[in-house]
Every structure is written in structure tokens, then in C-alpha cells.
Amino acid sequence: IGQASKNWRLERMALLDKCVLRLAVFEILYLEDIPPKVSIDEAMEIGKKFGSEYSSSFVNGVLDNIYNTLIQEGRLPKESEC
């Protein structure tokens, strides 16, 4: 998460944003029955409802970066392969 959140160290992040990011990353990595895009969308909704006005877009940006990195590393299949 720290590497994917450019210019934001974990210590600077809002607690809610960190928790949402951690939950979504866990879902993406370990819960194969939940499509990664669903995890990202749900994390954005939680950020929108309970976070700051910027939480949703921040969470989306970080998770999208993580998702694309995992695909490039071969740890997740490309969307067309799902």
C-alpha cells in the first residue's frame, strides 16, 4: 500500500482509508470468488460514505495502482482471462 500510494506515507493516511485499503487488498489477493473490480468499487463506496470528500478517489487510485501492478507481476490474471 505504501509503495502504491505515491507521495503518501502510511503514517499520513487517514485511519479509515488505511483500513479500507487493507481490506480491499486482502480481498483482491485471497478471495478468488470476489472479482477485484468489485472489491475496488466497494472500497470506493465505503470511502465515499464514511471518509473525507477525497477518500473515494484516493482509495480508487491506490487500489487501481496495486491491481495493475499485481497483473504485471503475474500474480493476478488479466481481466480478459477472468
Return per-residue pLDDT of the chain as tens, 82 residues.
Answer: 888 888 888 889 999 999 999 999 999 999 999 999 999 999 999 999 999 999 999 999 999 999 999 999 999 988 755 5
Q: What's the pLDDT at 8? A: 82
Amino acid present at 65: N
pLDDT of res. 6 = 82
Residues 6 or more apart from 27 whose CB is under 8 A from it? 34, 36, 39
> What are the residues whose beta carbons fall under 8 Å from the beta carbon of 55, sequence distance 6 or more?
14, 16, 17, 20, 47, 48
- CATH assignment of 10-76, among 1.10.8.420, 2.60.40.10, 1.10.940.10, 1.20.1510.10: 1.10.940.10
CA-based nearest residue to 44, from 28, 27, 29, 61: 61
